Structure 1
Amino acid sequence: MSTTSPPSPPETAVMARLSRLDQFLPVWIGLAMIAGLLLGRFVPGLDNALDAVTIGGISLPIALGLLIMMYPVLAKVRYDRLDTVTGDRRLLLSSLILNWIVGPALMFALAWLFLPDHPEYRTGLIIVGLARCIAMVIIWNDLACGDREAAAVLVALNSVFQVFAFGVLGWFYLSVLPGWLGLDGAQLEVSGWEIAGNVLVFLGIPLLAGYLTRRFGERARGRDWYESRFLPKIGPAALYGLLFTIVILFALQGDAITSRPWDVVLIAVPLLAYFAIMWGGSYALGKAIGLTYERTTTLAFTAAGNNFELAIAVAIGTFGVTSGQALAGVVGPLIEVPVLVALVYVSLWARRRFFT
């Protein structure tokens, strides 16, 4: 009788190939969040020191962390394959509908359903729903073995739409639609130039750097050297940047989070519902329209993820750093980060269950 062991499930094989840092990512993220909260709570004046210099309304340390986080992933993109993504109309159309019609409408409905008597938190959540993904979603997609080139295209597409649509949708969901429904709204004033600046800095710079690195690296040493030698060396920097960003982000708002725990719970409930519905619905849609596992995963993560950096910057710039709107923006990544990390594992499990 054969003693050969049965093959390991795909998600197990994938996790076994990951570095120790990657395998214990939820642990490191949890520790980073705790460290940030403790720093913000017990180090006097730290928030003012970290926020003394800003880029596009965002703390310079956070900006540096985001750039470090984004660059290695975008350096991995095969830019010569992007035409295979832009020709997939099912993927592009589904992404646009999910991100700019379904996502904002769902967050609006959940915010009013769960927070009818908390207008500041409700407005903050609606702003989070309007800020579509441009940053960390690339990390989650990569960990879940999604289509890296498709993620780059969809993030770029959402970024372009964000420049033009954020202000208009903010006006619609915070002023026009509540009036039509007989609800009390709140005016959102945000500059399209500010949004464009954020997109240029946090997507444009690492995207250009990643493209130039691949182009000149392959030209100088060849693709085999670039992918087998260079990329493994810079790869861990993405997760180091992620952990650094989380520590700084939670240090900036640690006092607000730890001093108002019940308010954090109130904000967390609709956020949990939002991420579950958006990710699960997008994943089901990708499977239904015949996308591959890789592109289904990319569609789901790019639809569920949010640009909380922009949401926080807009909330602080419009309503103030101590406002309820700003607190709601900060709770966004507090919930989003562990939830989407968990969904990476769910996605790897679903590949074996639904795509074999």
Structure 2
Amino acid sequence: MLAGLALGATVPGLPDALSAIQVDGVSVPIALGLLVMMYPPLAKVRYDQFGAVAADRRLMVVSLILNWVVGPAIMFTLAWLLLPDLPEYRTGLIIVGLARCIAMVVVWNDLACGDRNAAAFLVTLNSIFQVVMFAGLGWFYLDLLPGWLGLQTGTLDVSMWQIAKSVLIFLGIPLAAGFLGRRILERVRDRQWYENTYLRRISPLALYGLLFTIVILFSLQGRQILDRPFDVARIAVPLLLYFALMWTGAYYTSRLVGMDYPRSATVAFTAAGNNFELAIAVAIGTFGAASGQALAGVVGPLIEVPALVALVYVSLKLRKRISPASSTEGTRS
């Protein structure tokens, strides 16, 4: 993060040069970083076990309610309570709350030793819901609900293709690569070679991709963050509360209904993360790149990254408390 801020603030023209590398409105550097980051965790998924994951009704019901009912409602509430005088930032945060995570959650879940199969399944399920529900929820939380409550209303002009494009690029490509790569390589060699040799070799790519993506994100917005620190701080407060409330509520709800640690962690990270690429694209496309809505979208991942890294450590502490033996074994592997 510090390296990205320094690069963006000190290298003349770097943010503009990086922003210019786009294909159909999608940042190529960020897309490459995310795809490299996501491939190793999705390559580790045993797709032949998806049936067992889908059979867990508790997992699906809890995750869908948290993502599509609780999450947007909490972000709406926090945005109005903490930013009542800043309508542009408030709208930007509401958009962030509607964009459920389909990318980095796979890495957070992997770092926290969550259930990889369940994470891949839930991310796919949420992606389908995202395509179907994003625009409708945007209308509900920006226009209909504020009107009912006597608050200021807004609009959200977003196409179905814009949402589907984000899902196809940031989930479809690495998911297809993980699935097809496992099928092909296991047939050419065998599962033992694939999991004991191939996966060990590609695992570091996830960390490299994550670090590259973080540097690019912070370098793109380094000057804006340094020029408007008070605004960033105002936006950061509801975001931090959101991540803490969503993760904690999701984790303990999952434990309460009888899920084990791996699936509880998976539900928690799936509920707490957000699809910042979609949120930023929608904010820029609807309100403009220089708008407050776009700045709120940009601040989202800048706060999410350190917040969810911290929650990975919290999660691992809870795992150690629940099962010290398996925690030590998992750390060694």
TM range (shorter): over 0.9
Q: 1:70 aligns with which of 25, 38, 46?
A: 38
> Residues 109-124 of structure 1 correspond to what in structure 2 (within 5 A)?
109-124=77-92
User: Do the aligned partners of 1:128 and 1:332 also contact (CA within 8 Å) in 2?
Assistant: yes
Q: 2:138 aligns with which of 158, 170, 176?
A: 170
| Counterpart secondary structure, 1:309 | helix
Q: 1:196 aligns with which of 150, 157, 164?
A: 164
> Residues 188-267 of structure 1 correspond to what in structure 2 (within 5 A)?
188-267=156-235
Superposed CA offset, 1:14-56 (max 9, x none): xxxxxxxxxxxxxxxxxxx111112211222222211213245
Counterpart code for 2:273: G
User: Do the aligned partners of 1:56 and 1:198 also contact (CA within 8 Å) in 2?
Assistant: no
| Counterpart secondary structure, 2:80 | helix
Distance in 2, Cα, partners of 1:179 & 1:340? 34
Displacement, 1:192? 0.8
| Number of matched pairs | 324
Q: 2:47 aligns with which of 79, 85, 96?
A: 79
Give the corresponding residue for 1:279: 247
Distance in 1, Cα, partners of 2:13 & 2:319? 47
Give the corresponding residue for 1:17: none
Displacement, 1:243? 0.8
Counterpart code for 1:253: Q
Q: Please say if 1:181 is aligned against 2:149.
A: yes
| Counterpart secondary structure, 2:74 | helix
Q: Please say if 1:342 is aligned against 2:301.
A: no
Structure 1's consecutive aligned runs of 4 or more residues displaced over 6 angstroms after TM superposition are none
Give the corresponding residue for 2:327: none
Counterpart code for 1:235: S
Distance in 2, Cα, partners of 1:131 & 1:355? 34
Distance in 2, Cα, partners of 1:159 & 1:66? 16
TM-score by length of 2: 0.95
Distance in 1, Cα, partners of 2:7 & 2:275? 24
Q: Please say if 1:325 is aligned against 2:293.
A: yes
Identity %: 69
**CA RMSD of superposed structures (Å):** 1.1
Counterpart code for 1:243: L
Which consecutive residues of structure 2, in runs of 5 or more, have no partner in the other structure? 325-333
Which consecutive residues of structure 1, in runs of 5 or more, have no partner in the other structure? 1-32
Change (3 A) 1:187 1:335: same
Counterpart code for 1:80: D
